[in-house]
Amino acid sequence: MMKPIKKLVSFVLILTLFLCAAFAFTGCGGEKKEKVVIYTSAEDYRIEDLRARLNEQFPDYEIVIEYMTTGNHAAKLFAEGINTECDITHDLEYPYLAKLEKSGSLAELSQYDFSVYASDVAVSKYYIPEYRNGGAIIVDKQALDEKNLPMPASYEDLLKPEYKGLVIMPNPKSSGTGYIFLQSLTVTMGEEAALDYFDKLNENIIEYTSSGSGPVNKLIQKEAAIGLGMTGQAVTANNNGADFEILFFEEGSPYNMYGQGIISGKETREAVKNVFDFMINTYNREANNKFFPEQIFADGPGKVENYPQNIQYSDMGDTSPESKDALLAKWKY
């Protein structure tokens, strides 16, 4: 009698293990976790912060965050349309969001309260402001001191031969941060003069990075001395022990706006709506006091230790997607 019982027990055990493996998403409960897919162009340290907060807030969801550079992020969404696996597009600059809106790829968000945002922050009923990304000239003082080189005081200074092989910037074709420098100087100098300026600056450029975080990362790694990069990232690096000088030249700090939206058709899913609501109502406020405190909310800027105060912004001119496409078509590098 014992042998049949043992066989039955063994069969039940094997069946149980098989079922547990089949439903490994949530143990043996049998229910698959609700998955929410987020495309983002945020830097690594911000992605990890966002992932931790979402996993903490939504333990019953499977949160998938896929990083892409700004250009690749936008290109992927344009190619996939509403048939994408993406539920929420995050950390995408305004011109690309405007193009996605025109293509019908974004869900309408008119139910949200846009009065919480500052008066100079453009809003659309198809995407939500996330942060203002300001640019600066970031300098490794120690690297210049070692070469007995002076601190640059203008964009023209960056053309001097003594800075050859020391300057790094993001490629405007793949990086929104790179593009704001090109756009800003186009407004200030005129298009022809600005493109001529970057042709001359190219002689001193050691590398065009694919992402906006690249220049500061290269400065941290001692692979460059002067970077056209993000103010917020440079401040974070300084607060973590770096000793970078953050410079704003006469033309002011170039900047762009980043936002987030829901892919059309995905807004009907409760999990997507819950994650999106948490991001815009709670997490963006937290991030404004961690990473990019430049003002987007009506009640004032965020507060980040050692962040430059009273920043004067550049005139960014025409920020339409059509203007961006036309200017990038003339970029050579």
Strands (E), the chain: 25-28, 34-40, 61-67, 88-93, 128-140, 167-170, 205-209, 226-230, 244-247, 255-262
Instruction: Please write the tens of the pLDDT for every residue from 253-283.
Output: 999 999 999 999 999 999 999 999 999 999 9
Q: Are strands 128-140 and 244-247 parallel, antiparallel or unpaired?
A: antiparallel
**What pLDDT is stored for residue 32 in this prediction?**
74
Per-residue pLDDT at 1: 47
Distance CA(19)–CA(28), nearest Å, equals 7
pLDDT score, position 7: 52
Distance in angstroms (rounded) separating the CA atoms of residues 172 and 324: 10
Q: Give the pLDDT score at 15.
A: 53
d(CA 162, CA 252): 24
* Domains recognised in the chain with CATH numbers: 28-132+257-288 (3.40.190.10), 133-255+312-328 (3.40.190.10)
Quote the pLDDT of residue 158. Answer: 98
Quote the pLDDT of residue 22. 47
Residues in the chain, pLDDT under 50:
1-2, 6, 9, 12, 19-29
Confidence at residue 27, expressed as pLDDT on a 0 to 100 scale: 44
Q: Give Cα 98 to chain centroid, integer Å.
A: 16
Are 88 and 312 in contact by the 8 Å Cβ rule? The answer is no
Instruction: Output the six-digit token pair for 123.
Output: 């809003």
pLDDT of residue 70: 86
Hey, what amino acid is at 104? G
- The three-class DSSP label of residue 106 is strand
Q: Report whether 175 contacts 270 (CB < 8 A).
A: no
Assigned token pair, 144? 């210049």
Report the predicted TM-score, pTM, of the whole model to 2 decimal places: 0.76
**Positive or negative: CA dihedral 180, 70, 102, 264:** negative
